[in-house]
Structure 1
Amino acid sequence: MRDAVGSVRSVLLLGGRSEIGLAVVERLVHEGARKVVLAARGGAEAPHSLAALEPEVHSLDFDAALHETHCGIVAAAAELVGDLDVVVDAFGVLGDQAAYEADPVSAARDSAVNYTGHVSVDLAVAARLREQGHGTLVVLSSVAGVRTRRFNYVYGSAKAGLDGFAQGLADALHGTGARVLVVRPGYVPTQMSRHVDPAPFPATPGQVAAAVARGLRTGAHTVWAPPVLWPLFTVLRALPRPLWRRLSR
Protein backbone atom coordinates (compact mmCIF):
# COMPACT_ATOMS: atom_id res chain seq x y z
CA MET A 1 0.00 0.00 0.00
CA ARG A 2 1.55 3.29 -1.10
CA ASP A 3 0.41 5.28 1.96
CA ALA A 4 1.11 2.69 4.64
CA VAL A 5 3.05 4.20 7.54
CA GLY A 6 6.45 2.90 6.41
CA SER A 7 6.17 4.61 3.01
CA VAL A 8 4.92 7.98 4.26
CA ARG A 9 7.51 10.58 3.34
CA SER A 10 5.58 13.85 3.59
CA VAL A 11 2.95 15.12 6.02
CA LEU A 12 0.83 18.27 5.93
CA LEU A 13 -0.73 19.25 9.25
CA LEU A 14 -3.73 21.59 8.98
CA GLY A 15 -3.84 23.04 12.46
CA GLY A 16 -0.12 23.27 13.01
CA ARG A 17 -0.35 23.90 16.75
CA SER A 18 -2.81 21.10 17.54
CA GLU A 19 -1.36 18.86 20.24
CA ILE A 20 -3.07 15.81 18.78
CA GLY A 21 -2.05 16.74 15.24
CA LEU A 22 1.57 17.27 16.27
CA ALA A 23 1.57 13.92 18.08
CA VAL A 24 0.44 12.28 14.83
CA VAL A 25 3.15 14.07 12.86
CA GLU A 26 5.83 13.04 15.37
CA ARG A 27 4.67 9.45 15.19
CA LEU A 28 4.89 9.46 11.40
CA VAL A 29 8.33 11.09 11.48
CA HIS A 30 9.49 8.42 13.94
CA GLU A 31 8.32 5.87 11.38
CA GLY A 32 10.05 7.42 8.39
CA ALA A 33 8.40 10.65 7.23
CA ARG A 34 11.03 13.28 6.42
CA LYS A 35 9.11 16.30 5.12
CA VAL A 36 6.56 18.20 7.23
CA VAL A 37 4.41 21.24 6.58
CA LEU A 38 2.78 22.93 9.57
CA ALA A 39 -0.15 25.12 8.51
CA ALA A 40 -1.68 27.43 11.11
CA ARG A 41 -2.89 30.98 11.44
CA GLY A 42 0.23 33.13 11.53
CA GLY A 43 2.35 30.06 10.80
CA ALA A 44 3.69 27.56 13.34
CA GLU A 45 7.10 26.56 14.60
CA ALA A 46 8.01 22.94 15.15
CA PRO A 47 8.00 22.06 18.86
CA HIS A 48 11.30 20.89 20.30
CA SER A 49 10.19 17.25 20.38
CA LEU A 50 9.55 17.33 16.61
CA ALA A 51 12.58 19.47 15.73
CA ALA A 52 14.80 17.01 17.61
CA LEU A 53 13.83 14.32 15.09
CA GLU A 54 15.34 16.54 12.36
CA PRO A 55 12.72 16.35 9.63
CA GLU A 56 12.54 19.03 6.94
CA VAL A 57 9.89 21.40 8.37
CA HIS A 58 8.04 24.18 6.56
CA SER A 59 5.45 26.61 7.89
CA LEU A 60 2.42 28.10 6.11
CA ASP A 61 -0.08 30.73 7.18
CA PHE A 62 -3.48 29.01 7.21
CA ASP A 63 -6.79 30.54 8.31
CA ALA A 64 -9.73 28.15 8.42
CA ALA A 65 -12.18 31.03 7.94
CA LEU A 66 -10.60 32.25 4.69
CA HIS A 67 -12.08 29.63 2.40
CA GLU A 68 -10.88 31.34 -0.75
CA THR A 69 -7.24 30.70 0.28
CA HIS A 70 -7.53 26.97 0.92
CA CYS A 71 -6.76 25.68 -2.57
CA GLY A 72 -3.68 27.87 -2.56
CA ILE A 73 -2.52 26.51 0.81
CA VAL A 74 -2.73 22.92 -0.44
CA ALA A 75 -0.90 23.86 -3.64
CA ALA A 76 1.80 25.69 -1.67
CA ALA A 77 2.35 22.67 0.56
CA ALA A 78 2.76 20.44 -2.49
CA GLU A 79 5.27 22.89 -3.97
CA LEU A 80 7.32 22.65 -0.78
CA VAL A 81 7.41 18.87 -0.33
CA GLY A 82 6.11 17.28 -3.53
CA ASP A 83 3.33 14.71 -3.31
CA LEU A 84 1.32 14.83 -0.09
CA ASP A 85 1.39 11.33 1.39
CA VAL A 86 -0.63 12.16 4.50
CA VAL A 87 -2.66 15.26 5.29
CA VAL A 88 -3.83 15.58 8.89
CA ASP A 89 -6.90 17.78 9.36
CA ALA A 90 -6.69 18.71 13.05
CA PHE A 91 -7.85 22.31 13.47
CA GLY A 92 -10.87 23.37 15.47
CA VAL A 93 -12.30 25.34 18.37
CA LEU A 94 -13.63 23.74 21.56
CA GLY A 95 -15.76 26.46 23.11
CA ASP A 96 -18.03 26.55 26.13
CA GLN A 97 -21.68 25.58 25.67
CA ALA A 98 -23.00 28.12 28.20
CA ALA A 99 -21.00 30.88 26.52
CA TYR A 100 -22.40 29.88 23.14
CA GLU A 101 -25.95 30.05 24.44
CA ALA A 102 -25.27 33.53 25.78
CA ASP A 103 -23.57 34.66 22.55
CA PRO A 104 -25.08 33.02 19.43
CA VAL A 105 -22.73 34.99 17.17
CA SER A 106 -19.70 33.30 18.72
CA ALA A 107 -21.43 29.94 18.40
CA ALA A 108 -21.97 30.51 14.68
CA ARG A 109 -18.41 31.76 14.18
CA ASP A 110 -16.82 28.75 15.88
CA SER A 111 -19.20 26.34 14.15
CA ALA A 112 -18.04 27.73 10.81
CA VAL A 113 -14.44 26.91 11.75
CA ASN A 114 -15.41 23.47 13.02
CA TYR A 115 -17.41 22.51 9.94
CA THR A 116 -17.33 24.70 6.84
CA GLY A 117 -13.60 25.38 7.16
CA HIS A 118 -13.02 21.64 6.93
CA VAL A 119 -15.36 21.24 3.98
CA SER A 120 -13.44 23.85 2.03
CA VAL A 121 -9.90 22.71 2.72
CA ASP A 122 -10.66 18.98 2.66
CA LEU A 123 -12.19 19.26 -0.80
CA ALA A 124 -9.01 21.03 -1.92
CA VAL A 125 -6.92 18.24 -0.36
CA ALA A 126 -9.09 15.57 -2.00
CA ALA A 127 -8.57 17.13 -5.42
CA ARG A 128 -4.80 17.08 -4.90
CA LEU A 129 -4.74 13.46 -3.68
CA ARG A 130 -7.00 12.38 -6.54
CA GLU A 131 -4.61 14.02 -9.00
CA GLN A 132 -1.63 12.30 -7.36
CA GLY A 133 -3.40 8.94 -7.37
CA HIS A 134 -2.43 8.24 -3.76
CA GLY A 135 -2.38 9.73 -0.27
CA THR A 136 -4.52 9.72 2.85
CA LEU A 137 -6.54 12.52 4.41
CA VAL A 138 -6.74 11.97 8.17
CA VAL A 139 -9.78 13.77 9.61
CA LEU A 140 -9.93 14.29 13.37
CA SER A 141 -13.58 13.86 14.18
CA SER A 142 -14.83 13.11 17.71
CA VAL A 143 -17.18 10.88 19.63
CA ALA A 144 -18.96 14.16 20.39
CA GLY A 145 -20.34 13.94 16.86
CA VAL A 146 -21.50 10.34 17.04
CA ARG A 147 -24.52 11.40 19.07
CA THR A 148 -24.73 14.99 20.27
CA ARG A 149 -25.12 15.60 23.99
CA ARG A 150 -26.79 18.48 25.77
CA PHE A 151 -23.63 19.74 27.47
CA ASN A 152 -21.77 20.42 24.18
CA TYR A 153 -24.32 20.24 21.38
CA VAL A 154 -22.94 23.23 19.44
CA TYR A 155 -19.51 21.65 19.18
CA GLY A 156 -20.96 18.16 18.82
CA SER A 157 -23.27 19.10 15.98
CA ALA A 158 -20.36 20.57 13.99
CA LYS A 159 -18.37 17.38 14.57
CA ALA A 160 -21.39 15.33 13.47
CA GLY A 161 -21.45 17.30 10.23
CA LEU A 162 -17.71 16.88 9.76
CA ASP A 163 -17.88 13.14 10.43
CA GLY A 164 -20.66 12.69 7.87
CA PHE A 165 -18.82 14.84 5.34
CA ALA A 166 -15.60 12.85 5.80
CA GLN A 167 -17.40 9.54 5.33
CA GLY A 168 -19.05 10.81 2.14
CA LEU A 169 -15.73 12.12 0.87
CA ALA A 170 -14.17 8.73 1.53
CA ASP A 171 -16.82 7.09 -0.63
CA ALA A 172 -16.31 9.70 -3.36
CA LEU A 173 -12.57 8.94 -3.44
CA HIS A 174 -13.01 5.17 -3.56
CA GLY A 175 -11.09 3.71 -6.47
CA THR A 176 -8.93 6.80 -7.05
CA GLY A 177 -5.94 5.64 -4.98
CA ALA A 178 -6.65 8.39 -2.42
CA ARG A 179 -8.52 7.68 0.80
CA VAL A 180 -9.85 9.17 4.01
CA LEU A 181 -9.21 7.96 7.56
CA VAL A 182 -11.79 9.22 10.09
CA VAL A 183 -10.50 9.40 13.67
CA ARG A 184 -12.96 9.46 16.59
CA PRO A 185 -11.19 10.25 19.85
CA GLY A 186 -12.98 10.58 23.15
CA TYR A 187 -11.81 13.04 25.80
CA VAL A 188 -8.18 14.03 25.23
CA PRO A 189 -6.53 16.23 27.89
CA THR A 190 -4.87 19.09 26.00
CA GLN A 191 -4.60 22.85 26.35
CA MET A 192 -7.69 23.18 24.17
CA SER A 193 -9.75 20.94 26.47
CA ARG A 194 -8.42 22.25 29.77
CA HIS A 195 -11.76 23.95 30.58
CA VAL A 196 -13.72 20.71 30.06
CA ASP A 197 -14.38 18.22 32.84
CA PRO A 198 -12.66 14.87 32.23
CA ALA A 199 -14.80 12.13 30.72
CA PRO A 200 -14.57 8.34 31.02
CA PHE A 201 -12.13 6.46 28.79
CA PRO A 202 -9.73 9.34 28.01
CA ALA A 203 -6.86 9.06 25.55
CA THR A 204 -3.56 10.92 25.38
CA PRO A 205 -2.42 12.62 22.15
CA GLY A 206 0.16 9.86 21.83
CA GLN A 207 -2.51 7.17 22.02
CA VAL A 208 -4.53 8.92 19.32
CA ALA A 209 -1.38 9.12 17.19
CA ALA A 210 -0.79 5.39 17.65
CA ALA A 211 -4.37 4.70 16.54
CA VAL A 212 -3.84 6.83 13.43
CA ALA A 213 -0.59 5.04 12.58
CA ARG A 214 -2.33 1.71 13.02
CA GLY A 215 -5.19 2.84 10.80
CA LEU A 216 -2.78 3.94 8.07
CA ARG A 217 -0.97 0.63 8.29
CA THR A 218 -4.10 -1.52 8.08
CA GLY A 219 -6.05 0.58 5.57
CA ALA A 220 -8.85 1.27 8.04
CA HIS A 221 -11.55 3.81 7.20
CA THR A 222 -12.36 4.66 10.85
CA VAL A 223 -10.43 4.41 14.11
CA TRP A 224 -11.59 5.07 17.68
CA ALA A 225 -9.28 6.23 20.47
CA PRO A 226 -9.40 4.37 22.76
CA PRO A 227 -10.87 1.38 20.87
CA VAL A 228 -13.35 0.63 23.67
CA LEU A 229 -15.39 3.64 22.50
CA TRP A 230 -16.58 1.75 19.43
CA PRO A 231 -18.65 -0.90 21.26
CA LEU A 232 -19.61 1.65 23.91
CA PHE A 233 -21.10 4.09 21.41
CA THR A 234 -22.72 1.27 19.47
CA VAL A 235 -24.82 0.79 22.61
CA LEU A 236 -25.16 4.48 23.48
CA ARG A 237 -26.49 5.39 20.04
CA ALA A 238 -29.43 3.08 20.72
CA LEU A 239 -30.09 4.44 24.22
CA PRO A 240 -33.64 5.84 24.60
CA ARG A 241 -33.63 9.61 24.46
CA PRO A 242 -34.91 10.20 28.03
CA LEU A 243 -31.97 8.16 29.33
CA TRP A 244 -29.50 9.81 26.95
CA ARG A 245 -30.66 13.21 28.13
CA ARG A 246 -29.73 12.34 31.70
CA LEU A 247 -26.11 11.57 30.92
CA SER A 248 -23.85 14.20 32.46
CA ARG A 249 -20.86 13.43 30.17
Structure 2
Amino acid sequence: MIDAVGNPQSLFILGGTSDIALATAHRYAEQRPLRIVLAVRPEEADLAEAASERLQQTGSTVTVIPFEARKPETHREVIDKAFADGDIDVTMVAFGVQLDNEKSWTDPDAAQLVADVNYTAPVTLGVLIAEKLRKQGHGHIVAMSSPAGERARRTNFVYGSSKAGLDVFYSGLTYALADSGVKVTVVRPNFVKTKLTEGLKPAPMAQTPEQVAEAIVGAVNKGKEQVWVPGQMRWVMTVLRHLPRVIFRRLSF
Protein backbone atom coordinates (compact mmCIF):
# COMPACT_ATOMS: atom_id res chain seq x y z
CA MET A 1 0.00 0.00 0.00
CA ILE A 2 0.99 3.66 -0.33
CA ASP A 3 2.82 4.60 2.86
CA ALA A 4 2.21 7.54 5.18
CA VAL A 5 4.43 9.89 3.17
CA GLY A 6 2.90 8.95 -0.20
CA ASN A 7 5.35 6.36 -1.51
CA PRO A 8 3.80 3.36 -3.28
CA GLN A 9 5.27 -0.13 -3.10
CA SER A 10 4.13 -1.03 -6.61
CA LEU A 11 3.53 0.80 -9.90
CA PHE A 12 1.83 -0.48 -13.06
CA ILE A 13 2.25 1.51 -16.28
CA LEU A 14 0.10 0.89 -19.34
CA GLY A 15 2.24 2.51 -21.98
CA GLY A 16 5.51 1.54 -20.34
CA THR A 17 7.73 3.52 -22.70
CA SER A 18 5.86 6.80 -22.12
CA ASP A 19 8.34 9.56 -21.28
CA ILE A 20 6.00 11.02 -18.66
CA ALA A 21 5.23 7.66 -17.06
CA LEU A 22 8.89 6.66 -16.89
CA ALA A 23 9.79 10.02 -15.37
CA THR A 24 7.09 9.35 -12.76
CA ALA A 25 8.50 5.89 -12.10
CA HIS A 26 11.96 7.37 -11.55
CA ARG A 27 10.50 10.03 -9.28
CA TYR A 28 8.95 7.34 -7.08
CA ALA A 29 12.02 5.09 -7.25
CA GLU A 30 14.20 7.93 -6.00
CA GLN A 31 12.20 7.83 -2.77
CA ARG A 32 12.21 4.05 -2.32
CA PRO A 33 12.69 0.94 -4.50
CA LEU A 34 9.40 -0.49 -5.70
CA ARG A 35 7.90 -3.23 -7.85
CA ILE A 36 7.24 -1.88 -11.34
CA VAL A 37 5.26 -3.49 -14.15
CA LEU A 38 5.64 -2.03 -17.65
CA ALA A 39 3.03 -2.97 -20.26
CA VAL A 40 4.44 -2.18 -23.69
CA ARG A 41 3.85 -2.84 -27.37
CA PRO A 42 5.95 -5.78 -28.63
CA GLU A 43 7.71 -3.54 -31.17
CA GLU A 44 8.94 -1.36 -28.30
CA ALA A 45 10.78 -4.21 -26.57
CA ASP A 46 14.19 -2.56 -26.99
CA LEU A 47 12.96 0.71 -25.47
CA ALA A 48 11.34 -1.21 -22.62
CA GLU A 49 14.55 -3.14 -21.93
CA ALA A 50 16.55 0.08 -21.72
CA ALA A 51 13.95 1.66 -19.42
CA SER A 52 13.89 -1.45 -17.28
CA GLU A 53 17.68 -1.43 -16.84
CA ARG A 54 17.65 2.21 -15.72
CA LEU A 55 14.88 1.58 -13.21
CA GLN A 56 16.60 -1.51 -11.83
CA GLN A 57 19.60 0.67 -10.99
CA THR A 58 17.40 2.25 -8.29
CA GLY A 59 16.96 -1.13 -6.63
CA SER A 60 13.46 -1.55 -8.04
CA THR A 61 12.26 -4.78 -9.61
CA VAL A 62 10.83 -4.48 -13.12
CA THR A 63 8.57 -6.81 -15.09
CA VAL A 64 7.76 -6.18 -18.76
CA ILE A 65 4.60 -7.61 -20.33
CA PRO A 66 3.36 -7.25 -23.93
CA PHE A 67 0.35 -5.02 -24.48
CA GLU A 68 -1.64 -4.04 -27.55
CA ALA A 69 -4.19 -1.26 -27.04
CA ARG A 70 -6.10 -2.26 -30.18
CA LYS A 71 -6.57 -5.89 -29.11
CA PRO A 72 -9.30 -5.65 -26.44
CA GLU A 73 -9.63 -9.42 -26.32
CA THR A 74 -6.18 -9.51 -24.66
CA HIS A 75 -6.76 -6.74 -22.11
CA ARG A 76 -8.00 -8.94 -19.27
CA GLU A 77 -4.93 -11.16 -19.63
CA VAL A 78 -2.67 -8.09 -19.47
CA ILE A 79 -4.34 -6.86 -16.29
CA ASP A 80 -4.25 -10.33 -14.71
CA LYS A 81 -0.50 -10.60 -15.39
CA ALA A 82 0.14 -7.18 -13.89
CA PHE A 83 -1.63 -8.13 -10.65
CA ALA A 84 -0.31 -11.70 -10.54
CA ASP A 85 2.47 -10.90 -8.05
CA GLY A 86 0.30 -8.94 -5.64
CA ASP A 87 -1.59 -5.69 -5.16
CA ILE A 88 -0.85 -2.64 -7.30
CA ASP A 89 -0.75 0.70 -5.51
CA VAL A 90 -0.58 3.08 -8.48
CA THR A 91 -1.70 2.34 -12.04
CA MET A 92 -0.93 4.79 -14.85
CA VAL A 93 -2.96 4.82 -18.07
CA ALA A 94 -0.27 6.54 -20.08
CA PHE A 95 -0.46 5.35 -23.68
CA GLY A 96 -1.79 7.36 -26.60
CA VAL A 97 -1.35 8.41 -30.19
CA GLN A 98 -1.44 11.81 -31.89
CA LEU A 99 -1.63 11.84 -35.69
CA ASP A 100 -1.78 14.68 -38.17
CA ASN A 101 -5.21 16.26 -37.70
CA GLU A 102 -5.92 16.69 -41.41
CA LYS A 103 -5.28 13.00 -42.01
CA SER A 104 -7.27 12.06 -38.93
CA TRP A 105 -10.49 13.73 -40.05
CA THR A 106 -10.26 12.71 -43.71
CA ASP A 107 -8.99 9.13 -43.38
CA PRO A 108 -11.42 6.75 -41.62
CA ASP A 109 -8.63 4.35 -40.67
CA ALA A 110 -6.62 7.13 -39.05
CA ALA A 111 -9.69 8.40 -37.21
CA GLN A 112 -10.45 4.92 -35.89
CA LEU A 113 -6.84 4.47 -34.78
CA VAL A 114 -7.00 7.63 -32.67
CA ALA A 115 -10.38 6.66 -31.21
CA ASP A 116 -9.33 3.07 -30.46
CA VAL A 117 -6.04 3.94 -28.76
CA ASN A 118 -6.98 7.15 -26.96
CA TYR A 119 -10.53 6.36 -25.90
CA THR A 120 -11.86 2.83 -26.42
CA ALA A 121 -8.84 1.00 -24.98
CA PRO A 122 -8.51 3.27 -21.92
CA VAL A 123 -12.19 2.70 -21.14
CA THR A 124 -12.11 -1.10 -21.39
CA LEU A 125 -8.87 -1.21 -19.42
CA GLY A 126 -10.27 1.22 -16.86
CA VAL A 127 -13.17 -1.13 -16.21
CA LEU A 128 -10.79 -4.05 -15.67
CA ILE A 129 -8.42 -2.06 -13.46
CA ALA A 130 -11.30 -0.75 -11.35
CA GLU A 131 -12.49 -4.33 -10.85
CA LYS A 132 -9.07 -5.36 -9.50
CA LEU A 133 -8.65 -2.33 -7.27
CA ARG A 134 -12.14 -2.67 -5.79
CA LYS A 135 -11.33 -6.24 -4.80
CA GLN A 136 -8.04 -5.27 -3.15
CA GLY A 137 -9.73 -2.31 -1.43
CA HIS A 138 -7.13 0.31 -2.23
CA GLY A 139 -5.13 1.79 -5.09
CA HIS A 140 -4.82 4.87 -7.25
CA ILE A 141 -5.42 5.28 -11.00
CA VAL A 142 -3.63 8.05 -12.89
CA ALA A 143 -5.14 8.78 -16.33
CA MET A 144 -3.26 10.97 -18.78
CA SER A 145 -5.70 13.39 -20.41
CA SER A 146 -5.10 16.71 -22.21
CA PRO A 147 -6.38 20.30 -22.36
CA ALA A 148 -7.16 19.46 -26.00
CA GLY A 149 -10.25 17.69 -24.72
CA GLU A 150 -11.68 20.84 -23.18
CA ARG A 151 -12.95 22.45 -26.39
CA ALA A 152 -12.82 21.53 -30.09
CA ARG A 153 -10.08 23.34 -31.97
CA ARG A 154 -9.57 23.31 -35.73
CA THR A 155 -5.97 22.13 -35.44
CA ASN A 156 -6.46 19.04 -33.25
CA PHE A 157 -10.15 18.25 -32.82
CA VAL A 158 -9.85 14.54 -33.61
CA TYR A 159 -7.19 14.00 -30.94
CA GLY A 160 -9.08 16.36 -28.64
CA SER A 161 -12.32 14.44 -29.04
CA SER A 162 -10.64 11.20 -28.00
CA LYS A 163 -9.11 12.85 -24.94
CA ALA A 164 -12.45 14.43 -24.05
CA GLY A 165 -14.00 10.96 -23.90
CA LEU A 166 -11.15 9.60 -21.78
CA ASP A 167 -11.36 12.60 -19.46
CA VAL A 168 -15.09 12.23 -18.85
CA PHE A 169 -14.80 8.47 -18.24
CA TYR A 170 -12.02 8.71 -15.66
CA SER A 171 -13.52 11.80 -14.04
CA GLY A 172 -16.73 9.82 -13.62
CA LEU A 173 -14.77 6.87 -12.27
CA THR A 174 -13.71 9.07 -9.34
CA TYR A 175 -17.38 9.14 -8.29
CA ALA A 176 -18.04 5.46 -8.96
CA LEU A 177 -15.04 4.36 -6.87
CA ALA A 178 -15.39 6.92 -4.09
CA ASP A 179 -16.66 4.44 -1.49
CA SER A 180 -14.25 1.62 -2.40
CA GLY A 181 -10.98 3.04 -1.10
CA VAL A 182 -9.77 3.60 -4.68
CA LYS A 183 -8.83 7.04 -5.99
CA VAL A 184 -8.48 8.44 -9.50
CA THR A 185 -6.45 11.39 -10.73
CA VAL A 186 -6.99 12.86 -14.19
CA VAL A 187 -3.86 14.66 -15.41
CA ARG A 188 -4.12 17.43 -18.00
CA PRO A 189 -0.63 18.49 -19.02
CA ASN A 190 -0.02 21.26 -21.51
CA PHE A 191 2.37 20.59 -24.39
CA VAL A 192 5.09 18.22 -23.13
CA LYS A 193 8.41 17.66 -24.89
CA THR A 194 8.21 13.89 -25.48
CA LYS A 195 8.44 11.33 -28.28
CA LEU A 196 4.74 11.89 -28.94
CA THR A 197 5.26 15.60 -29.73
CA GLU A 198 8.63 15.29 -31.45
CA GLY A 199 8.75 17.56 -34.50
CA LEU A 200 5.89 19.77 -33.28
CA LYS A 201 6.41 23.40 -32.37
CA PRO A 202 6.31 23.73 -28.54
CA ALA A 203 3.32 25.64 -27.22
CA PRO A 204 3.63 28.38 -24.59
CA MET A 205 4.21 26.99 -21.09
CA ALA A 206 5.59 23.75 -22.55
CA GLN A 207 6.66 21.24 -19.90
CA THR A 208 9.25 18.50 -19.54
CA PRO A 209 8.31 14.94 -18.54
CA GLU A 210 10.06 15.52 -15.21
CA GLN A 211 7.89 18.54 -14.45
CA VAL A 212 4.73 16.56 -15.19
CA ALA A 213 6.01 13.65 -13.09
CA GLU A 214 6.54 15.99 -10.13
CA ALA A 215 2.95 17.19 -10.45
CA ILE A 216 1.61 13.63 -10.70
CA VAL A 217 3.43 12.44 -7.60
CA GLY A 218 2.18 15.47 -5.68
CA ALA A 219 -1.40 14.99 -6.87
CA VAL A 220 -1.46 11.30 -5.91
CA ASN A 221 0.02 12.12 -2.53
CA LYS A 222 -2.69 14.71 -1.89
CA GLY A 223 -5.50 12.60 -3.35
CA LYS A 224 -6.37 15.18 -6.01
CA GLU A 225 -8.95 14.13 -8.59
CA GLN A 226 -7.65 16.53 -11.25
CA VAL A 227 -4.36 18.27 -11.89
CA TRP A 228 -3.30 20.74 -14.58
CA VAL A 229 0.35 21.04 -15.58
CA PRO A 230 1.36 23.78 -15.24
CA GLY A 231 -1.31 24.95 -12.82
CA GLN A 232 -1.92 28.14 -14.81
CA MET A 233 -3.48 26.06 -17.61
CA ARG A 234 -6.62 25.67 -15.50
CA TRP A 235 -7.27 29.41 -15.79
CA VAL A 236 -6.22 29.61 -19.44
CA MET A 237 -8.73 26.92 -20.36
CA THR A 238 -11.43 28.52 -18.19
CA VAL A 239 -11.12 31.64 -20.31
CA LEU A 240 -11.00 29.73 -23.60
CA ARG A 241 -14.05 27.64 -22.68
CA HIS A 242 -16.12 30.78 -22.24
CA LEU A 243 -15.01 32.67 -25.33
CA PRO A 244 -17.88 33.20 -27.80
CA ARG A 245 -17.71 30.68 -30.63
CA VAL A 246 -17.34 33.39 -33.28
CA ILE A 247 -14.15 34.59 -31.57
CA PHE A 248 -12.79 31.20 -30.57
CA ARG A 249 -12.89 29.80 -34.10
CA ARG A 250 -10.65 32.63 -35.34
CA LEU A 251 -7.83 31.68 -33.00
CA SER A 252 -4.99 29.98 -34.87
CA PHE A 253 -3.96 27.20 -32.48
If the TM-score is normalised by the length of the shorter chain, which range does it land in? over 0.9
Residues 173, 184 of structure 2: 8 Å contact kept: yes
Could you tell me how far apart the structure 2 residues matched to 1:156 and 1:83 are? 33
Q: Which residue is 2:153 aligned to?
A: 149
| Residue aligning to 1:30 | 30
Corresponding residue number in structure 2 for 1:99: 103
Per-residue deviation, residues 161-214 of structure 1 (Å, max 9, x unmatched): 000000111110011001111000010011211132221111110011000011
Matches within 5 A, 1:1-249: 2=2, 6-42=6-42, 43=45, 44-47=48-51, 48-80=53-85, 82-249=86-253
Q: What amino acid sits opposite 1:37 in the alignment? A: V
Say whether the 8 Å CA contact 1:41–1:63 is kept in structure 2. Answer: yes
Letter in 1 for 2:35: K
Counterpart of 2:37 in 1: which secondary structure? Answer: strand
From the superposition, tell whether residues 135 and 171 of structure 1 become closer, same or farther in structure 2 (CA, over 3 Å). Answer: same
CA contact (8 A) 2:33 2:59 kept: no
State whether residues 11 and 33 of structure 1, in contact with CA within 8 Å, keep that contact through their aligned partners in structure 2: no
Q: Take 2:50 and 2:226, find their aligned partners in 1: how far apart are those partners?
A: 28
CA gap 1:62/1:26 in 2 versus in 1, 3 angstroms: same
Q: Any conservation in 2 of the 1:5–1:28 contact (CA below 8 Å)?
A: no
Matched residues in 1 for 2:61 and 2:132: separation?
21
TM-score, length basis structure 1: 0.95
Q: How many residues align?
A: 248
**Structure 1 spans left out of the alignment, 5+ residues:** none
How high is the TM-score relative to the length of structure 2? 0.93
Quote how far apart the aligned CAs of 1:245 are.
1.0
> Is the Cα contact below 8 Å between 1:148 and 1:160 reproduced in 2?
no
Deviation at 1:46, TM superposition (A): 4.5
> What RMSD over aligned residues (CA atoms) do the two structures have, in Å?
1.6
Name the aligned partner's letter for residue 236 of structure 1: L
User: Partner of 2:12: helix, strand, or coil?
Assistant: strand
Letter in 2 for 1:225: V
Is the 1:21–1:90 contact (alpha carbons within 8 Å) kept by the matching residues of 2?
A: yes
